[in-house]
Amino acid sequence: MRVELKVFASLAKYAAHPLLSADGVVELPSPVSVGQIADALNIPRKEIKLIFLNGIHAQIDTAVKDGDRVGFFPPIGGG
């Protein structure tokens, strides 16, 4: 299945992973959870503070289906 992934701020460095296409699409066997996408792309789970699935707040164990959009944020606190 194909999932669109966006990695923000200090997590953007993980977008260089070969499994992730230049337009931010990753192909994975289903079924899969948000956390398993992070694992497949070598994004340490402990660096992820905030997860969105199709624009809505989600958890690390939330299930992902074909065509979903996933966003990962680190903590952001600068002022």
The CB density around residue 43, as the number of other CB atoms within 10 Å, is 22
Nearest to 3 by CA among 59, 71, 77: 71
* Comparison of 6 and 17: residue with beta carbon closer to other proteins: 6
52 binds other proteins (CB under 8 A): yes
| Residue 21 makes contact with other proteins by CB under 8 A | no
74 sits near other proteins (criterion: CB under 8 A): yes
Give residue 17's region: left, alpha or beta (phi > 0; psi -120 to 50).
beta
* Residues of the shown chain interacting with other proteins in the complex, contacts defined by CB under 8 A: 6, 8-11, 44-50, 52, 55-57, 71, 73-79
